[in-house]
Structure 1
Amino acid sequence: MKINHFTAAEENLMKLFWKLESFYLKDVMEQHPEPKPHQNTVSTYLKILVEKGYLSTEKEGRIFKYTVLVPLEEYRKFLLRELSRNFFNNSGKEVLDFLFNENLISQNDLKGYFDLKIELKPAKVKGPKLEYAEEILNPKKDKKGKEKKKKKKKD
Structure 2
Amino acid sequence: MKEIKRLPDAELAVMQAIWSLQPPVTAADVQQHTEKNWKATSVLTFLSRLCEKGFLRCEKEGRQNFYTPLIGQEQYLQRESRSFVERLCGGSVKNLVASLSDAGALTEDDIDELRAFLDAQAK
TM range (shorter): 0.7 to 0.9
Please give the secondary structure, in 2, of the residue aligned with 1:65.
strand
| 1:62-91 deviations in Å (ceiling 9; x for gaps) | 211111121222222122211211121211
User: Deviation of residue 42 (structure 1)?
Assistant: 1.0
In the TM superposition, 1:71-150 aligns within 5 A as 71-113=72-114, 114=116
Aligned residue type for 2:96: V
TM-score by length of 2: 0.79
Matched-pair contact (CA < 8 Å) for 1:54–1:69: yes
| CA root-mean-square deviation | 2.3
Matched, 1:26 2:28: yes
CA distance in 2, matches of 1:115, 1:14: 28
Matched-pair contact (CA < 8 Å) for 1:50–1:56: yes
Gap runs ≥5 in structure 1: 118-155
| Partner residue, 1:54 | 55
CA distance in 1, matches of 2:78, 2:26: 27
| Runs of 4+ residues deviating >2 angstroms | 29-34, 103-113
TM-score by length of 1: 0.64
Q: How many residues align?
A: 116
Matched, 1:9 2:7: no
Please give the secondary structure, in 2, of the residue aligned with 1:67.
strand
CA distance in 1, matches of 2:118, 2:88: 29
Please give the secondary structure, in 2, of the residue aligned with 1:70.
coil
Aligned residue type for 1:17: I
Aligned residue type for 2:80: L
Aligned residue type for 1:95: L
User: Deviation of residue 21 (structure 1)?
Assistant: 4.5
| Partner residue, 1:126 | none
Relative contact order (alpha carbons < 8 A, sep ≥ 6): 1 or 2 greater?
Answer: 2
Aligned residue type for 1:27: D
- Does the C-alpha gap of structure 1 residues 116 and 69 become closer, same or farther in structure 2, counting only changes over 3 Å? closer
User: Deviation of residue 115 (structure 1)?
Assistant: 7.0
Matched-pair contact (CA < 8 Å) for 2:58–2:68: yes
